[in-house]
Amino acid sequence: MSNRTPERVTAVDAHAAGGVVRLVTGGFPVPRGRTMTAKADTLARRHSGLCGALTLEPRGHDGVVLAVLCEPVTSGADAGIVFLHGGGPLPLCGHGLIGVATIAIERRLIVPRAPGTLHLDTAAGMVAVAFDAVDSQGGTRVRNARYTGPAAFVLAGGVALDLRSRTVRVDVAFGGTEFLVIADSESAGVPLARAHVSDLRRAAGAILSAAGSSIAAVHPADGSIREFGGVVFTGPPERSDAQLRCQAIYAEGAVDRSPSGSAVSGTMAVLDRMGLAGREPVILESLTGTIMRARIVEHVEVGATPGVRVEVEGSAWIIADHEFHVAPDDPLAHGVSW
């Protein structure tokens, strides 16, 4: 047995449209660096074990996104925020922004300079998260939150991918932080339902493999971005108030429980390219039955490529307060992934 004292970390969990964000509140290293990207990279590199402990089993699962507050580097920001998934950094997380804003306001962790809006510095730049809050006997409740993400655009439309059993036409879109292959689930031959998640994972793997060998995904304004982050399957919704079902499955096989801010933005870029986005908000549903609302707020140019900026709105609920213990002699101290 080791005589070292176990590390103790406190955190608050919220789910935003089904996606879980875990905001650490104590006992965690302070992210260091001159930029938000450097802060995220340094945290993931120097403290990968502790990051893995809080995002992987047995303390986490593949749906948990870790959020760490820190000092911002951009003038005017209320706070900096670093996102990590599976121990690795994320430039931005849509449901994470909604969840962090909800926790921060309801628990009074941050007092925003501008009433009704949190300005959060991220590795993808500063993001303004507007929120609607009401006071009740139980305290402040954030009913919903919304943010406008980085520019999304369609890189290629109607690309034919040859899979073993069929040819599937897909759209390749950038969702603001990553390239996504967007495919109609019926065309891919897989029902868009929770009972078929394992089939969706297999189909996503085959689609990513085919896309990677036939499509050069290079960001027109940032040549360092050149990998596919995942597949987004679309199909008809089950909810009467939704227009589309939208399910993201990431390259490592993780299944987003929310409609996914990046997937929503990429899908909206495709709808706009097809002339179907319109001016009214589009409601997109996840496999869990939760929704995000999206609307195009601006048309922009990304290099020479036309793009859009999408406002994404959702609701979050605080679901847990944690005190984690990471003992040095625990064989799963740093978590395990499957």
CA distance 212 to 76: 40
Using one digit for the tens of pLDDT, what is the confidence trace for 80-134?
999 999 868 999 999 999 999 999 999 999 999 999 999 999 999 999 999 999 9
> What distance lies between CA 124 and its chain's CA centroid?
12
| Paired sense of beta strands 64-70 and 19-26, if any | parallel
Does residue 5 register a pLDDT over 90?
Answer: no
The 3-state DSSP class for residue 171 equals: strand
| 256 vs 138, higher pLDDT | 256
Give the CATH number of domain 152-314; options: 3.30.70.1400, 3.30.450.40, 3.40.50.2000, 3.10.310.10.
3.10.310.10
- Judge whether 7-145+317-326 and 152-314 match in fold: yes
Q: What is the mean pLDDT of residues 171-193?
A: 95
**What does the pLDDT average to over 10-39?**
96
What local confidence, expressed as pLDDT, does residue 1 receive? 37
Residue 2: is its pLDDT beyond 80? no
pLDDT per position as a tens digit, 206-220: 999 999 988 999 999
Confirm if 312 and 149 have CB atoms less than 8 A apart: yes
Q: Is the pLDDT of residue 3 over 90?
A: no
pLDDT given for residue 49 in this prediction: 92
The CATH fold assigned to 7-145+317-326 is Diaminopimelate Epimerase; Chain A, domain 1 (3.10.310)
Average pLDDT, the chain: 94
Describe the crossing of helices 261-273 and 94-106 by its angle, rounded to 10 degrees: 130
The domain locations on the chain are: 7-145+317-326, 152-314
